[in-house]
């Protein structure tokens, strides 16, 4: 029998790419998403790629009654992959309560129901923001968790602590927290990709929207950081590579191969790239010009961070496969495809 996986936030960016990989590997997927930052047509893209339309329920996981009803109806769920959360660093600085409420209450509702229904496996969508500005680079999983730079980062720190505490209280429960660096790009089919509602907060969608003419110019947040070109440095990871890591983590849980009941893995390329380098690489690999101007720093940004992904490489047998050039090209192809469809 096919194993059933609940993917919360499965209509969203990383969620939708993960649903594709799960369905390609033969898992049965049920998605819960409130569509607060995603659109339902993503399900059509998933269906076109995989030939399977995933089961979908639209509700807010902060609603404890709806969440409980859902879990009572879906007793056969073997693994939960929890993506559903707000994710914009800058916005979280402006609206901290919204971030704490949304990201933490939904997690607690899910965990409570997992415990009640004896669902033993959780893959949690975490972030390199849990490290704040690390003292040493590249950052390993053993790096101290320092004070988060933003409420968003803090919700990820607190979420990991909540999961850890619950696991310590219950030997049956196991979780893997995947700490992503910066996911970018789109599925090679250009049928799904990053689809921010309104003005994009993240760098690459802002670049693709500028290149296509939807935005006048990209604002580069700061050129006075202690980095070679003065702009911030991140580790940009291809979203399909990232999605595949979730399937590996899920298999590890189901095969009971975890070494501890709560494990954390960094998911990145191990390479730090500056904002200006991203702009240049985008221009080179797509042939498109990106207008930009340098503006002041953005609140909540760390100066530089990139991963040491050796532990994930060795322990999960997973590594990134797609280059930065092809990843930026995939983001551009997605932007073009999405706009041509909209204009049909
Ligand atoms: N960034 C930028 N202009 C934008 C959006 C982002 O210069 O319009 C920079 C941001 O300051 C950071 C990097 O791009 O250094 C990545 O930001 P993003 O929001 O994509 O991801 P984050 O690292 O904050 O999770």
Distance, CA of 131 to CA of 153 (rounded, Å): 9
Ligand 1, atom 6: nearest CA belongs to which residue?
A: 203
Ligand 1, atom 19: nearest CA belongs to which residue?
A: 202
- Note the pLDDT of residue 119: 98
CB 201 within 8 A of CB 277: no
- Note the pLDDT of residue 196: 86
- Best mutation site among 199, 211, 298 for ligand 1 pocket (most ligand atoms within 8 Å of CB): 298
- Note the pLDDT of residue 344: 60
| Angstrom distances, CA of residue 229 to CA of 233, 320, 325 | 10, 26, 20
Q: Which of 13, 152, 225, 338 is catalytic?
A: 152
Distance spanning both ends of the chain, measured CA to CA: 41
3-state secondary structure of 171: coil
Q: Distance from the CA of 291 to the center of ligand 1, in angstroms?
A: 16
What pLDDT tens digit does each residue of the chain (344 aa) get? 789 999 999 999 999 999 999 999 999 999 999 999 999 999 999 999 999 999 999 999 999 999 999 999 999 999 999 999 999 888 899 999 999 999 999 999 999 999 999 999 999 999 998 998 899 999 999 998 888 888 999 999 999 999 999 999 999 999 999 999 999 999 999 999 999 888 998 999 999 999 999 999 999 999 999 999 999 999 999 999 999 999 999 999 999 999 999 999 999 999 999 999 999 999 999 999 999 999 999 987 889 999 999 999 999 999 999 999 999 999 999 999 998 876 66
- Best mutation site among 202, 279, 302 for ligand 1 pocket (most ligand atoms within 8 Å of CB): 202
3-state secondary structure of 227: coil
- What count of other Cβ atoms lies within 10 Å of the Cβ of residue 224? 10
- Note the pLDDT of residue 1: 72
Q: Prior bond to 138 cis, omega within 30?
A: yes
- Note the pLDDT of residue 146: 87
Around ligand 1, the residues with Cβ closer than 6 Å are: 89, 182, 201-203, 206, 218-221, 232, 234, 275, 298, 301
- Note the pLDDT of residue 340: 87
Q: Prior bond to 10 cis, omega within 30?
A: no
How does strand 121-127 pair with strand 174-180? parallel
152 is catalytic: yes
- Note the pLDDT of residue 341: 75
């Amino acid at each position: 029998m096919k194993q059933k996986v609940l993917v919360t936030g499965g209509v969203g960016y990383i969620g939708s790419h993960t649903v594709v990989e799960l369905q390609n590997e033969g898992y049965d997927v049920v998605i819960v998403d409130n569509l607060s930052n995603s659109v339902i047509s993503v399900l059509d893209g998933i269906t076109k790629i995989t030939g399977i339309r995933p089961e979908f329920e639209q509700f807010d996981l902060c609603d404890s009654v709806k969440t409980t009803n859902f879990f009572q109806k879906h007793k056969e769920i073997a693994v939960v992959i929890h993506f559903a959360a707000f994710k914009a660093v800058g916005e979280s600085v402006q609206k901290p309560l919204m971030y704490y409420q949304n990201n933490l209450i939904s997690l607690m509702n899910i965990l409570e129901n997992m415990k009640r229904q004896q669902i033993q496996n959780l893959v949690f969508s975490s972030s390199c923001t849990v490290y704040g500005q690390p003292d040493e680079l590249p950052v390993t999983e053993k790096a101290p968790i320092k004070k988060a730079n933003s409420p968003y980062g803090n919700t990820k720190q607190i979420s990991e602590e909540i999961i850890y505490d619950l696991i310590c209280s219950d030997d049956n429960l196991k979780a893997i927290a995947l700490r992503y660096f910066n996911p970018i790009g789109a599925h090679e089919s250009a049928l799904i990709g990053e689809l921010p509602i309104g003005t994009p907060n993240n760098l690459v969608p802002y670049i693709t929207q500028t290149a296509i003419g939807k935005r006048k110019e990209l604002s580069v947040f700061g050129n006075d950081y202690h980095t070679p070109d003065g702009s911030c440095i991140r580790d940009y990871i291809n979203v399909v590579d990232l999605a595949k890591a979730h399937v590996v983590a899920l298999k590890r849980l189901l095969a009971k191969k975890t070494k501890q009941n709560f494990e954390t893995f960094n998911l990145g390329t191990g390479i730090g790239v500056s904002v200006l380098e991203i702009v240049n690489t985008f221009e080179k690999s797509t042939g498109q010009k990106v207008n930009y101007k340098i503006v002041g720093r953005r609140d909540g940004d760390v100066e530089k961070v990139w991963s040491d992904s050796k532990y994930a490489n060795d322990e999960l047998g997973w590594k990134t496969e797609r280059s930065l050039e092809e990843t930026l090209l995939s983001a551009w192809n997605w932007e073009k495809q999405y706009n041509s469809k909209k204009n049909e």
